[in-house]
Chain A
Amino acid sequence: MTENIFIDYSLLILFLPLVSFLILVFTGKRLPRQGDWVGIGAILTTLALSISMFVSMLIEYEPGFSHEASFSWINLSAFQVDLGFLVDNITIIMLLVVSLISSMTHIFSTKYLEGDIRYSRYYAYLGLFTFSMNGIVLANNLISLYMFWELVGVSSYLLIQHWFEKDSAADAAKKAFLTNRVGDIGFFIGIMLIFSTVGAFTYSDIFAGVADGTIGGTILTFAGIGLFLGAMGKSSQFPLHIWLPDAMEGPTPVSALMHAATMVAAGVYMSVRIFPLFTPDALTVVAYVGGFTALFAASIAITQNDIKKVLAYSTVSQLGYMILAVGTGAYIAGFFHLVTHAMFKACLFYCSGSVIHAMHHALHKKHDHETDPQDMRNMGGFKDKMPVTYATMLIATLAISGVPLFSGFLSKDAVLAGTLSFVIHHPEHFFLAICGFGAALITAFYMFRLIFMTFHGSPTKKELIDDIHESPKAMTYPLILLATLSFFIFYTLPSVNPISDHGWFKDLVVPQDSFVQDSAILSAHEIEEGMHHAHYLAMALSLLVAGLGIGLSWMMYYRKILSADEWAKKTGPMYNLSLNKYYFDENYQKYLIQPVLKLADKVAYIDWDLYDKYFINGFGRVTDWISRITGRLDYEGIDQTLVDGVGRSAGKMGSGLKQIQTGKLQNYLLFVLAGVIVILVFQTI
């Protein structure tokens, strides 16, 4: 396959979903089946193209493969902006992830959203999202990355508020959009800092600028942190994590696609792309944000009862892992975790969707509109009723908990090995290791809590259990596919060693040396070496914490040896903090949003009551007064005196001359005579 075909395929992959969006948004409702086949057709074509690119990548097996194509977008002699594509192995893998999860979402939604009032609109927005996400993946410069970044934000907004009749959904969409904006401001400042020093937007130019010292020191640190702020917003990192759990108001397939697998991973993807320009200081910030988020979000997930909220906080926590990996320098491990996480987390979300779907139908049959279909306290004992959902969800849970034989084990292990080697090099940052392993422990615990509460034990609502049925095939097939992809083998071929991550992924995605001129920065090789040394220790520790977490969960929720309620009482204040998500929303409301609203009120007062009423209205009054005067001048001075005066004087002259008209011939003759005399006199003179 030639390089040109890569670019052609990328263009098709990018624009097919956009075409589907345009068709659906304008004609969707009039098409048969509300046009879902347009969206599904476009995304399946995209998937086929992505797979063919992926296969050709595997055939070529060239670690350093990279191809760029760009065109000039703005060309003013002193100011030039080029937009373009960068296709390398990371891009190809990411494109496959996006189109695969997106295809699964399209197929899953045919049943999950069957009969929905905005069915075609939903598919249109999915197309818009896929387009913008692929744009992020393909961008070779910060400007188009930023544009697609915002487009992703818009499509997220549109899809979260799919059921905008519900206030909570509309609010959640606004919250997601505005919280993202906070991060995006940092992102934009970062871009501008880089542009003002390096004068370019493309990754390669920026890296060149970093390498030759055009940009460096504090400015580079701030630029890196600024860009990372964007990633924090999009990837829902502390303290901007508040929007992601609320975003679960959107349809579950959307949560799986955007708020678990792809869109929230955009922040991580961006950090991976720009990793070589992070200075050691910036990386420390990144590592602490990621590590803290991983532990912090996990500690909230532990007490949540809404099945989707648990998964949402779990996503935040896993994204924290990826960011932690970037911060500790093991950024390829972070990207590896992104890919594996996309599969098993999407699978978990589809499973929760399947459970909610079943609950919803059962409740509908009983005409029960009070019970919350997402509350795990209303579930239990679904194991035999929904065998496929149970099996796939168990596999995905094993993967996320980091159990050997599953993909999550490999990627989490790589992340933890990176963290451990970083901590061994810099013992003062031991907190990061605590975060990493602590989060792993809690993750295993709450994920099995979810499994036990939903599928095991005796049903809490006995009257519902008979109406719980397995979901239709359009929903279970994506589950089976994604659960299959949660096994380790797909990421390690041709190697089949279940505890080592050696394989095509490691061969093809090679870490790049940082370009920052700093003695403290480690080369990719050194990081690799460190991870290799820390590998067995990290594996032992992660197996230990995963086993501990699963064991605790098993005792508490399966065997009920330990009473969950009693533990909740024993740890009272901490339990309440976790249950109430550390009161983040309340505090933001009190200390951030209310003052801002008050300020807005004040500004509105100045604008309307002072500026508008006195200044603007005063202008109006003065103008009115002036126009009255000029109006009078015009009417009385010009119209009545000048214009009418001409007519009047003509009339007066006419009535004066009328006197001469006597009707007597002799008079006229006299005038003629007088005239002749006058002429004669004048002639002689």
Chain B
Amino acid sequence: MHSLESYLYVSAILFALGLYAVVTRRNGIAVLMGVELILNSANLNFLAFARFGGVNLAGHIFALFVIIMAAAEAAVALAIVINIYKNYQSINVDEISALRQ
């Protein structure tokens, strides 16, 4: 089972789960968690291609970059969620529809 496909399957499942969370969850933090899952599925893809697809170290380096970027993103996104909470007294993304107007 140590083949590229098995990694890709896992990664696809992860991506689907993340996407599902992003699209369906009402809680803003849960949405962020979905985003983390998508990022990690991407990481898994990078590493899988680095191992089996001949991308070599470039894949590893990209994965590292993604982890760093995910940390930064989490920091910024959590800050935004805190600010939203301050403004709306809620982190329910359905109620935050100011874009519509």
Contact = CB atoms under 8 A, between A and B. Distances in A.
Interface of A: 661-666, 669-670, 673
Contacts of B24: 666
B100 A661 contact: yes
A666 B99 contact: no
Contacts, number: 24
B19 interface: yes
17 contacts: A661-B100, A662-B100, A663-B98, A663-B99, A663-B101, A664-B93, A664-B94, A665-B93, A665-B99, A666-B22, A666-B23, A666-B31, A666-B93, A669-B22, A669-B23, A673-B19, A673-B23
B19 A663 contact: no
Contacts of A665: 93, 99
Contacts of A666: 22-24, 31, 93
Interface string B4-42: 000000000000000100111000000100000000000
Nearest to B94: A664
A663 B98 CA distance: 7
Contacts of A673: 19, 23
A585 B99 CA distance: 105
A673 B19 CA distance: 9
Contacts of B101: 663
Interface in B60-101: 93-94, 97-101
**Chain A at the B interface: SS class:** helix
Contacts of A662: 97, 100
Given A669-B23, A673-B19, A663 B100 contact: yes
Contacts of A661: 100
B88 to A, nearest CB: 14
Nearest to B19: A673
A670 B97 contact: no
Nearest to A661: B100
Interface centre among A661, A663, A670 (most CB of B within 10 A): A663
B31 to A, nearest CB: 8
A430 to B, nearest CB: 127
B87 to A, nearest CB: 16
A344 B80 CA distance: 129
Interface centre among A664, A670, A673 (most CB of B within 10 A): A664
Contacts of B23: 666, 669-670, 673
Nearest to B101: A663
Contacts of A664: 93-94, 97, 100
Contacts of A669: 22-23
A673 B18 CA distance: 13
A673 B38 CA distance: 14
A646 B93 CA distance: 39
- 6 shortest interchain CB distances as A-B pairs: A663-B100, A663-B97, A663-B99, A666-B23, A670-B23, A669-B23
A83 B15 CA distance: 108
A673 B22 CA distance: 11
Nearest to B31: A666
Nearest to B24: A666
Nearest to A670: B23
A61 to B, nearest CB: 120
Nearest to A666: B23
A669 B24 CA distance: 10
A667 B53 CA distance: 35
Contacts of B94: 664
B100 to A, nearest CB: 2
Nearest to B97: A663
A534 to B, nearest CB: 129
Contacts of B19: 673
A662 B99 CA distance: 9
Given A663-B99, A669-B23, A673-B23, 9 more contacts: A662-B97, A663-B98, A664-B94, A664-B97, A664-B100, A665-B99, A666-B31, A669-B22, A670-B23
A665 B98 CA distance: 11
B18 to A, nearest CB: 12
A665 B26 CA distance: 11
A664 to B, nearest CB: 6
Contacts of A670: 23
A664 B93 CA distance: 8
A581 B44 CA distance: 138
Nearest to A668: B99
Nearest to A667: B23
A664 B100 CA distance: 8
A347 B100 CA distance: 113
Nearest to B100: A663
A665 B81 CA distance: 14
A670 B22 CA distance: 9
A324 B101 CA distance: 114
A664 B101 CA distance: 11
A304 B8 CA distance: 140
A662 B97 CA distance: 8
Contacts of B93: 664-666
Contacts of B100: 661-664
A664 B23 CA distance: 10
B8 to A, nearest CB: 15
A669 B101 CA distance: 18
A548 B53 CA distance: 155
A670 B100 CA distance: 16
A680 to B, nearest CB: 13
Interface centre among A666, A669, A673 (most CB of B within 10 A): A666
A679 to B, nearest CB: 16
A663 B100 CA distance: 4
A179 B61 CA distance: 122
B45 to A, nearest CB: 16
A666 B19 CA distance: 10
A661 B98 CA distance: 12
A521 B64 CA distance: 139
A661 B23 CA distance: 16
A654 to B, nearest CB: 16
Contacts of A663: 97-101
B64 to A, nearest CB: 27
Nearest to B22: A669
A349 B98 CA distance: 113
Nearest to A662: B100
A413 B44 CA distance: 148
A251 B99 CA distance: 102
A661 B94 CA distance: 14
A669 B99 CA distance: 14
Contacts of B22: 666, 669
Contacts of B31: 666
A342 B98 CA distance: 115
